[in-house]
């Protein structure tokens, strides 16, 4: 089976869900959350296949890792005020809660979502796929910021 077809097939229910579609309207890392999640998910899927890990859980957990539907940059929408209650420390809990409300996820996918912000989450990821998605998320975030900086600099 074609890898791109397989990826699209195993993530279709999430990508097409109306709640997940809302992520297209929320800015994140200089673009939108939907685009960011797709990139993290697809790269995690590819690497999981190369490393003989669970590509389905990596793809689905990667897709849902930032499944929060608020703009954390707007002061009025921030739910938390203390340092350890700020978005970077808490949005993985919000994403996991949303994922469990709208989708059936397995334990590995839940761990991926809950711990993708390690070390801010303080809890060690339990699975290799969780470590992988966490690393891919950091890579994608840095590349998104660098691409934006290059664009602004005219490079």
**pLDDT on residue 151:** 54
CA distance 126 to 112: 8
**pLDDT on residue 76:** 46
CA distance 155 to 37: 26
Where residue 58 falls (left for φ over 0; alpha for ψ -120 to 50; beta otherwise) is: alpha
Task: Calculate the alpha carbon distances from 70 to 61, 74, 77, 78 in Å.
Answer: 19, 9, 7, 8
| Structural domain harbouring 86 | 3-153
Task: Calculate the alpha carbon distances from 69 to 5, 19, 21, 25, 28 in Å.
Answer: 27, 8, 10, 9, 11
**pLDDT on residue 71:** 59
CA distance 126 to 69: 26
**pLDDT on residue 7:** 96
Give me the residues paired with residue 32 across strands: 27
State the pTM of this model: 0.84
Q: Is the pLDDT of residue 10 over 60?
A: yes
**pLDDT on residue 54:** 98
Q: Give the pLDDT band of residue 91 (cuts 50, 70, 90).
A: confident
What domain count does the chain have?
1
- The CATH number linked to 104 is 1.10.3210
């Amino acid at each position: 089976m074609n890898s791109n077809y397989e990826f699209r097939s195993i993530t279709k229910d999430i990508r097409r869900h109306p709640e997940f579609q809302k992520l297209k309207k929320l800015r994140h890392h200089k673009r939108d959350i939907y685009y960011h999640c797709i990139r993290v998910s697809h790269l995690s899927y590819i690497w999981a296949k190369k490393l003989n890990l669970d590509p389905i859980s990596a793809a689905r957990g990667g897709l849902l890792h930032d499944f929060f539907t608020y703009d954390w940059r707007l002061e009025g929408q921030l739910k938390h005020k203390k340092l350890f209650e700020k978005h970077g420390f808490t949005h993985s809990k919000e994403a996991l809660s949303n994922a469990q409300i709208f989708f059936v996820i397995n334990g590995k996918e839940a761990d991926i979502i809950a711990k993708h912000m390690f070390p801010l989450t303080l809890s060690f990821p339990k699975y290799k796929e969780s470590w992988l998605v966490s690393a891919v998320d950091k890579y994608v975030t840095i590349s998104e910021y660098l691409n934006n900086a290059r664009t602004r600099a005219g490079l």
